[in-house]
Structure 1
């Protein structure tokens, strides 16, 4: 039997966390129509919220969302959809069957509010960014989401990043990447499946998310070395991820060797 290590030093009960996350997701799914923000709510994208309402049918369950057209059109993807044949003209309806409703909800929240739950908060005392804590006091609230396309759990911020890539929302990509860097306590299997998803859903020219995963695995190499999941993944092969990881590890070793062999280092040893 292979062990299921976490790359975090503090082990957490993944079963309880996953049950709570699914419960929250289920409660959200029971709402048939997303409530629109009021005009009084701050809209960082400068929309007047006076444009027509677009209905969006999302996912396999055909969950309904509603959004103002001028808010959606901050995304080049939706701008093209609203002006092309992608939208049903008479009903002003856009169908997105391959999207995950929970992810689309976060994207829509960002378009209206400039962030998505859980929010980034600035710790003035430490002068650092943190993820807001939930009622349970943990900083990794809803860190994963079930994705029908892979039939498993993925890091939510990774899926949001890839969705933002598709929708042309560069600032949302930066927000998602920063949040992902603050997550901890994720199982090796989830990290690897999320890394594969990142590689499959980002272009080769967009290396930031890929580099994040390579650095994460290198930093946690002692845990991944003992991971049965990692062993099976590498034996199966067939992914650009593992060649990139090999190159990154080689570069890391070269950097360490270069520092160790520098004149200053030699003088220190003498």
Structure 2
């Protein structure tokens, strides 16, 4: 949860919001373990004063965090993060890495060249805090779930470097959580995405394609959420030039959408009044 970068971290990032620091030294320079430890200790001392109740409790409650510090090198710019081995090992992927399968000699470093720093930061935030910003809150008065800082549109999308497109942040988090074996984080990202509103059609379609490309066929939950979203907003999508271009390119997404549309029509037919005429006029 310690990040090193020449660039200013966004105000909503994990590294900024929880008091971690950054270094202006070149990537090849080594970090002193005592400075990493101090940074992580500062993170543990931060207490949240936001309203509402989170759906998760901190996984570090009662934990002294005395395990080794592991450095994580992320993305083509080789942004550096760090975390405690006992925390990282809650992920099967990182647990295997911490056992030495992916380490280069004795450097105690995990390399993630295809990951985005903002997403890895979110994964670390979840591992330490049990949630990620914006937090999922339960409104006891209405008995509904909602997101803190719901009006902040900057929390919804993120520029994905590999695809060079704006994508829904929760979708990328879901796919990374799948890679790291974090099933609870997948469920959390899915629920948060279901609460998002006001996305552009181009962003929804690009994110749906990303979801199809980065999840196995057996994992239908994220895909089904996009199909449902498109069906519910079909009046907007059928007028969209972006949708037309996407459909001309084809792919599994649109076959699944066709099947889902057919099932939707069958459902409507099933719930139709038994007194209605079978013929249309």
Query: Greater relative contact order (Cα 8 A, min sep 6): structure 1 or 2?
Result: 1
Matched, 1:171 2:184: yes
Distance 1:264 1:89, change over 3 A: farther
Q: TM-score, normalised by structure 2?
A: 0.79
Using the alignment, how far apart are the partners of 1:83 and 1:182 within structure 2? 38
Contact map agreement 1:140 1:183 (CA 8 A) in 2? no
What's the CA shift for 1:50? 1.1
Gaps of 5+ in 2: 1-8, 24-35, 48-56
Task: Give every structure 1 segment of 4 or more consecutive aligned residues whose post-TM-superposition deviation is greater than 6 Å.
Answer: 25-30, 39-42
Aligned to 1:119: 135
What's the CA shift for 1:48? 3.8
For residue 32 of structure 1, the aligned residue among 16, 22, 39 is 22
Show the 5 A alignment for 1:1-270: 24=11, 32=22, 35-36=39-40, 37-38=43-44, 43-44=58-59, 47-133=63-149, 138=151, 140-237=153-250, 239-260=251-272, 262-263=273-274
What's the CA shift for 1:88? 2.7
Pairwise CA RMSD: 2.5
Structure number with higher helix proportion:
1
Q: TM-score, normalised by structure 1?
A: 0.82
SS in structure 1 at match of 2:155 = coil
Contact map agreement 1:147 1:153 (CA 8 A) in 2? yes
Using the alignment, how far apart are the partners of 2:21 and 2:201 within structure 1? 33
Contact map agreement 2:74 2:116 (CA 8 A) in 1? yes
Number of positions where the alignment pairs a residue of Structure 1 with one of Structure 2: 240
